[in-house]
């Protein structure tokens, strides 16, 4: 049986790999959304990713999450709707306003937002080195977004929306850690995505069924969407929840 220290190193490696794969995922998702639209790409990805993670959890012979009251708790459902439905859809919309490459870089500010939340609301004591890194990263994100020209544009609006989404995601690290420990990483991630997908499904059926017309452009879009599912919604997100189980938020 692995001790806490033995589990910590694989968890650290998992979150590093998850971060790298999420960067690739933004590029794939951007290509998919450019050919389709945010709603069908995000909704379908949540369903495919969630079902795949639940299936992997079952094949690994882990205890079923459905006997755990946490799987049906109003807090977990609310967490899932915010993280998997609302934030994911907003990120998808951001990709229609700004480039996937810029999105990839701007989302890497997330760890510093987690640190900032801990400092402001949880009284976390940190070092001047960490504060300097936080300031540098924030300044770099602003310069990347504006290019040194502070004029409101569609790109700037998209970047501001990314900042809001990143902040929301950062605030969810703490419940994510708890649910990963209670339900297991694959089940927490899979159920969260299914709840989010269930919320978006009626809207997709009402407004986005044209995305499923088998045109060459749409078929290429769904090809990139499937790559996004594998890279981001299954592997990257699954590894993120796995790391949350043993790494403090």
Condensed to tens digits (0 to 9), the pLDDT of residues 16-29 reads: 788 778 878 888 88
The pLDDT assigned to 225 comes to: 93
> Is the CB of residue 106 less than 8 Å from the CB of residue 145?
yes
> Is the CB of residue 79 less than 8 Å from the CB of residue 175?
yes
Tell me which residues of the chain have a pLDDT lower than 50: 1-3
CA dihedral (125, 126, 132, 133) in degrees, to 10, reads -120
What is d(CA 50, CA 54) in angstroms, rounded to the nearest whole number? 6
Condensed to tens digits (0 to 9), the pLDDT of residues 158-203 reads: 777 877 877 787 778 788 888 888 888 788 888 999 999 999 999 9
What is d(CA 83, CA 196) in angstroms, rounded to the nearest whole number? 8
User: What is the C-alpha R_g of the chain?
Assistant: 18
The pLDDT assigned to 144 comes to: 63
- Which residue's entry shows tokens 């205890």? 63
The total of other beta-carbon atoms located within 10 Å of residue 26's CB is 24
What is d(CA 79, CA 77) in angstroms, rounded to the nearest whole number? 5
The pLDDT assigned to 156 comes to: 66
The string over 80-118, giving b where at least 16 C-beta atoms fall within 10 Å of a residue's C-beta and e elsewhere, is bbbbbbbbbbbbbbbbebbebebbbbbbbbbbbbbbbbb
The pLDDT assigned to 58 comes to: 81
The total of other beta-carbon atoms located within 10 Å of residue 20's CB is 12
The pLDDT assigned to 36 comes to: 92
The pLDDT assigned to 1 comes to: 45
């Amino acid at each position: 049986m692995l001790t806490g220290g033995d589990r910590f190193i694989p968890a650290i490696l998992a979150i590093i790999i998850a971060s790298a794969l999420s960067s690739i995922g933004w590029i794939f998702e951007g290509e998919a959304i450019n050919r389709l639209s945010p709603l069908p790409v995000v909704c379908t990805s949540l369903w495919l990713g969630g079902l795949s993670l639940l299936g992997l959890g079952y094949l690994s012979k882990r205890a079923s999450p459905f006997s755990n009251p946490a799987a049906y708790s109003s807090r977990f459902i609310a967490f899932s709707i915010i993280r998997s439905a609302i934030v994911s859809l907003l990120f998808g919309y951001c990709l229609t306003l700004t480039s996937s490459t810029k999105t990839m870089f701007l989302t890497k500010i997330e760890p510093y937002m987690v640190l900032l939340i801990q400092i402001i609301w949880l009284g976390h004591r940190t070092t001047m080195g960490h504060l300097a890194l936080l300031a540098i990263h924030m300044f770099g994100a602003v310069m990347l977004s504006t290019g040194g020209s502070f004029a409101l544009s569609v790109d700037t609006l998209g970047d501001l929306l990314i900042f809001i989404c990143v902040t929301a995601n950062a605030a969810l690290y703490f419940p994510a850690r708890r649910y990963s420990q209670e339900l297991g990483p694959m089940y927490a991630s899979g159920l969260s995505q299914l709840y989010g997908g269930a919320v978006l499904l009626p809207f997709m059926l009402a407004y986005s069924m044209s995305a499923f017309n088998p045109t060459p452009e749409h078929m290429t879009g769904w090809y990139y969407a499937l790559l996004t599912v594998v890279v981001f919604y299954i592997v990257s997100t699954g590894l993120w929840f796995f790391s949350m189980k043993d790494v403090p938020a």
